[in-house]
Amino acid sequence: MQGFANFMWLLSLALIVFSGFALIDAAVRREDAYRAADKKTKPFWLIILGLAFVVNLLFPILSFLPIIGLVATIVYMVDVRPAIQQITGGGGRRGGSSSDGPYGPYNGGR
């Protein structure tokens, strides 16, 4: 039984870190990028992700509230964040090859 309790504690900690990362990421993005990506507004996502973070801190994982917070965090991470990154051009690959340099493709000196 102690192993299960340790697993649940680690899972709860992972949810707190995941929702905290999403909240910080949403806070540092530009307001106009949310509107340009047509993904609600920045205050909307800050409230949703802030609630998810607080719920993960206060309630145990066996409750249904952290699951709702996890769903909101996943929606932000897989839908909203990539759309905003595409608008702002920040983070991740921007459609180039892995051999592209800062001034275009690297062709091996040809």
Q: Confirm if 65 and 54 have CB atoms less than 8 A apart.
A: no
CA distance 110 to 106: 9
Report the pLDDT averaged over residues 20-33.
Answer: 95
Sequence ranges of the domains in the chain: 2-89
46-59 pLDDT, tens per residue? 999 999 999 999 98
pLDDT at 89: 81
Q: Is the pLDDT of residue 92 over 70?
A: no
Six-digit token pair at 12? 């709860």
Looking at per-residue pLDDT, the higher value among 68 and 101 belongs to 68
93-108 pLDDT, tens per residue? 445 555 556 666 666 6
